[in-house]
Amino acid sequence: MKSRKLVLSIILLIAFTLSLAACGQDQGTGTDKGSESKGTIAVLNYVSSAPYFACGEEKAIQAGKDAGYDVIYTGTPEVDTPKFISLIQDMIQKDVKALCVASGDSTSVVPVLKEAREKGIKVVSWDLDVAEEGRDLYAGIMDLAELGVPMVEEMVKTIGDEGEFAIITGVLTNEFLQARINRILEYIEEKYPKLECVAVEGMDEDPEKCFAVAQNIIAAYPNIKAIMSNVSTGMGPIGKAIEQEGMIGKIYVTGQSTPNLAKPVFESGAAESAVLWDPGDWAAFAVKAAINLVEGADMPQGKVNIEGFPDATREGDLLYFWKTLVFTKDNVDDFDF
Amino acid sequence: MTRLNKMINNNEIMLGIFALLLFISFSFASSYFFRLGNLMQLTAQLVELGLLTLAMSASIISGGMDLSIGAMTSLSTVLLAIFMGTMGLNMWVSILLAFLIAMICGALNGFLCGFLKINSMLATLGTQALFTGIGLVISKGVTIQCFREEFFFFGQGRIGGLLPFQTVILILAATLSVLLISNSIWGRRIYLIGSSPEAARFAGINQEWNIMLVYIYSALMSFICAIIVTSRISGGRADVADPLVLQSVSAAVFGGISITGGSGNILGAMIGVIIFTLVSNGMNMMGASQFLQQIIIGSILLAVLIFRYFTKKQ
């Protein structure tokens, strides 16, 4: 009987603590330091446990703060489309002024985003663009399939312009990643016909799976010279697989990586360079575009004046800020994300 | 005192009280939570996990576990999107075709688990890979679009502009499930098979066909879920429902369905779904981090399991 009461009170306690924690939260996001907030902007991504998205938080929040807005930066911890849609609905219920949405595919969030727009909420897509009717603007770096070009060029600098390579991508169903793979294949056919892509594998945003996939590729293709990571989280595990199989100097990992994840791979010698952009800049760019929409600021075609992004342009509903980064072991320590 | 004891020992009442406490806490904690718009949306958010938890509960009660429900749902979304979106078939014809294929999937699971007596987790792990693979091949790995106005009603429609239509579907499906699993002869048979296959055999119960029906029922719930998902996202994708599988196991177990089979009931599992969804929606309204939500869900699940351990012990 005693233990029964004990456990009952524990459960009551959890409910109580929840409500207390809640009170603190609500006040925290409202107004801080006495300055009146102009409203809230929600910045959402579809896999918030990825360092790639986690590292954008600070700059996104700062971009909002500079203009007097609160920013909620959140996402589903794992890829989970039904839950992601529920999260967007919840943000709509919270009366946000604008949504900046990074979705895993271009159509599944469109109905819920249309609902948001009908309620007067401004919608900016970033990372992957969504179908037009779902958003007011797309905020991007450049046409991201085009990023395949510097990725190939950096690979050629490392392994030369002939031989076999493989690509490890995120989730195989991700259209945006698929579009870049197609661009890569098109580009090498045109410019480096002696390069041959022998395999395209998915790692499902899971580093351990990526490691195993890389090991399999190394075993299956004895003549392979490079494994290209099509996502920012792949280079570390691929580099480790190359190191463990004793293939340093024979097989290189190329492609994308965040600088922090690339550092150990540069040290082991499994990679010479990595291509990326700053996800924080990207999220901040989306926030600034959203604020311009909310405030009705003029954003003409051609060159666009967006604070902090001097090269920004607009073509139709697409805003680009044109800034990529190539990391090598000489400059990688200058970045921290 | 004995009345209090009885109450504490009644799993559904305890879970119901807990859900109510959560509801009240969130209402005070966030000014956005207790609004008609949010509450209606909350009921809509129950539906997909709810339907798959019904499917999962039935297979767990029968002493198995259908791990292919996520893949079946996803495959059905791809088929519906291809039939309606790509091929432009009539909506009802598309639904009928996809339904027949879903039933074949369920029958395959039923055949493997009921007739060949393959361990259900292994069998459905295999069919899960098979269904996902078929979905990936026919969709070429991308989301298949399906913008059909008349089809939007299932996952986006509101009755009287307010009550989400999918909520009504869940209520109907849950009622049907309570009738079938808790109150029919078939239901009592699968409880017996789940708790003691030996005893069921001595009682002359035809295990093969009763298990077959469990997996067909599971495929039916997955298919209904697929209709709602396809409508809600205006399309289909070969992995869209995968994350719901383990959530449905948690919700079922949380709701009092014994993982070893033969006990627990559907009502409890549904309250489990309500609590999970409440926590997710309520914490979003509070602006709590998604990572914190996982800690809270995990803690609540453990607390309830520990609570059950102590109450059972006495």
CA atoms within 13 A on the CB side of A103: 32
Q: What is the pLDDT of residue B105?
A: 98
Hey, do A38-141+279-322 and A145-276 end up sharing a CATH topology, with the first three levels equal?
Answer: yes
Pick the CATH number of B36-313 from 1.20.120, 1.10.275, 3.20.20, 1.10.3470: 1.10.3470
Chain B residue closest to A88 (CA)? B284
Across the interface, do B145 and A107 touch by the CB < 8 Å criterion? yes
- In this prediction, residues A313-333 reach a mean pLDDT of 91
pLDDT digits (tens, 9 = 90+) for A173-215: 888 899 999 999 999 999 999 999 999 999 988 899 999 999 9
Nearest to B307 among A1, A11, A173 (CB): A11
A83 touches B at CB < 8 Å: yes
In order along its 314 residues, chain B shows pLDDT tens digits of 567 777 666 888 889 999 999 999 999 989 999 999 999 999 999 999 999 999 999 999 999 999 999 999 999 999 999 999 999 999 999 999 999 999 999 999 999 999 999 999 999 999 999 999 999 999 988 889 988 889 999 998 999 889 999 999 999 999 999 999 999 999 999 999 999 999 999 999 999 999 999 999 999 999 999 999 999 999 999 999 999 999 999 999 999 999 999 999 999 999 999 999 999 999 999 988 888 888 988 998 998 888 888 877 65
DSSP A256: B
Taking an 8 Å cut-off on Cβ atoms, the answer to whether B235 and A108 are in contact is yes
Asked if B32 has any chain A CB less than 8 Å from its own CB, the reply is yes
Residues of A in contact with B25 (CB under 8 A): 15-16, 18-19, 22
- Token readout for A141 is 């770096």
Name the residue among B89, B29, B47 with its Cα closest to residue B296: B29
Query: What's the CA gap between A212 and A201, in Å, rounded?
Result: 11
Residue A173, chain B, CB below 8 Å: the answer is yes
Distances in whole angstroms, Cα of residue B122 to Cα of each of A16, B69, B194:
42, 14, 17
Interface probe for B, chosen from A20, A46, A89, A90 (most Cβ of B below 10 Å), is A90
| Rounded Cα distance, A61 and A64, in Å | 5
Chain A residues in contact with B276 by the CB 8 A cut-off are none
Which of these, B18, B25, B53, lies nearest to B269 by C-alpha position? B53
The alpha carbon of residue A132 and the mean position of all alpha carbons in its chain are separated, in whole angstroms, by: 20
Which pLDDT does position A19 carry in this prediction?
Answer: 55
Collapsed DSSP state (helix, strand, coil) of residue A308: coil
Alpha helices in A269-313 (DSSP H): 279-295
Minimal-distance CA residue of chain A relative to B132:
A173
- For residue B21, the one-letter residue type is L
Residue A112, both tokens? 């819920």
The CA R_g of chain B, rounded to the nearest whole Å, is 20
How many A-B residue pairs are in contact by the CB < 8 A criterion?
Answer: 160
The residue extents of the domains of chain A are 38-141+279-322, 145-276
Tell me the shortest Cα–Cα distance from B22 to chain A, in angstroms: 6
- ipTM value, please give it: 0.89
CB proximity under 8 Å: A 203-262 to B: none
Of B45, B143, B282, the CB nearest to A108: B143
Over chain A, what is the mean pLDDT? 89
**What is the pLDDT at residue A20?**
55
Note whether A15 contacts B26, CB cutoff 8 Å.
no
Domain A145-276 belongs in CATH node 3.40.718.10: no
Residue B300, chain A, CB below 8 Å: the answer is yes
Domain boundaries, chain B: 36-313
Closest of A205, A221, A204 to residue A165, by C-alpha: A221
Cα of B293 to nearest chain A Cα, Å: 10
Q: Are strands A163-169 and B158-159 parallel, antiparallel or unpaired?
A: unpaired
User: Distance (Å, rounded) from C-alpha B74 to C-alpha B89?
Assistant: 19
- Say what the pLDDT of residue A133 is: 93
From the list A147, A154, A216, the residue with the least C-alpha distance to A177 is A147
Class of domain A38-141+279-322 (CATH, top level): alpha beta
Contact map slice: B 44-73 vs A, CB within 8 A: 45, 48-49
Interface test with B, best of A5, A11, A48 (most B CBs within 10 A): A11
* Amino acid at the residue A249: G
